[in-house]
Structure 1
Amino acid sequence: MWAFIHKVGSPKWFYAISGRLLPWCWILAVGLILVGSLWGLAFAPADYQQGDSFRIIYVHVPAAFLAQSIFVSMAVAALVFMVWKIKVADMAAAVMAPLGAVMTFVALFTGSVWGMPTWGTWWIWDARLTSMLILLFLYLGVIALRGAFASRDSGSRAASVLAMVGVINIPVIKYSVDWWYTLHQKASFSITSRPSMPVEMWWPLLLMVVGFYAFFIAMTLMRTRSEILRREAGKHWVRELAAGGA
């Protein structure tokens, strides 16, 4: 088990295996997002109460899911780095943070746009919205900490601690609509229970959610590979790779 963990954590091994996976992840992500968005925006029926304004769900829900999942993934990678000192885990955590911040902003922005015709206001200090705003600040804090120290290792450790502590906000986001009175509706999408919407609306949403996750995996692999080359530039195998590419 430990040998496998350290093999996966080897920059050279990770770079090689991720290069094989990356094209398939991009094909899956682009294909699902194109089909899901076309289906949801052009062919799914309008909502009987919200009309066509509900269609923002096909961006809002996947972005909100991904914003939370990326932070959990980042916290797990941070834990692996802190416990087993695996460099690739820290590299992955570093490249996840900006994407997570973007997804959180997209979720907040699309939620505000959706809230105007639904609630009659762009923003309200609702439990779900407030906890998502805190998530954005946590992402920005993790990014800032990495650049706040002269030593990269010190910045990595500080960012890892914040990620592991900040992950407690994720269940608050998830269960806020159950724990407190909130204007935000309960989950519209679940793979473990009967859909709360017609299947004609649910299927394109499923495709978008899976497509967004494939996009996250592809972006993480691509940017981690770039980070490996940057950090391992002095290693013999990287110089050989550069010479071969030239």
Structure 2
Amino acid sequence: MFTLRAAVMWTVNDFPAYAMVSRWSTKGYMACPVCKEDVTSGWHVGKVCYLGHQRWLPWDHEWREKDKEFDGNTERRLKPREWSGDEILEQLNRLDFAPFGKTKNVFDTLVGTILDIEGKTKDMIKARLDLERMGIRRGLWMNRDSDKARRDLAFFSLKPNDKKEFLKFVSSVKFPDGYASNIARCVNVDGGKFTGLKSHDCHVFMQRLLPVGIRHLLPEDVVKPIMLLSRFFSQ
């Protein structure tokens, strides 16, 4: 007879499960487990949104001054302080497990917005109306030249001809065996969308294809942050 002891060394959870294992709510105005009480949030487009992301940038970063491109405010704050393990244990009485992000969710949102895919894009009428209410990004407000308001194509979305060029480029790419599935089969050029992409395919797409495919089709101030995001997924 002997006494058997077991210990949990780590877990991998999605963001909703994070709330259960850490006892920190992942819903509402203070859902960020990193910023905690120092989060910047507000009610926009019918849901809670989290703003003030420029505060994470270096102090002299050019995007801190671009108030019109973000929420209308010049960001002068430093990033939220990092909590020590002892502080987290004292506050939550639990270990601080890191959430597991999903590349596919980022892919669906980003590519859906770039291609202006209905049901996927985040550039919705509610978002446009919210920009008007906040008094920022006038170029993205609803067009009311006629009797009915309409949502014009945004500068960060591809025009129809550019969309076809982008999709044809993706359908022409071939990868070595085992690197990724046949992504060309998932391209619907006429329909202007992708179908059947697996999580790994989305990861490869974000890393390799997206920054190359859009660099000559979208404005530089749109391409640059997307390339930085792709670099993040390559790390």
Q: Which interval holds the TM-score relative to the shorter structure?
A: under 0.3
Higher relative contact order (CA 8 A, sep 6+): 1
Which TM-score applies when normalising by structure 2?
A: 0.28
**Larger radius of gyration, structure 1 or 2?**
2
Which TM-score applies when normalising by structure 1?
A: 0.27
Higher strand share: 2
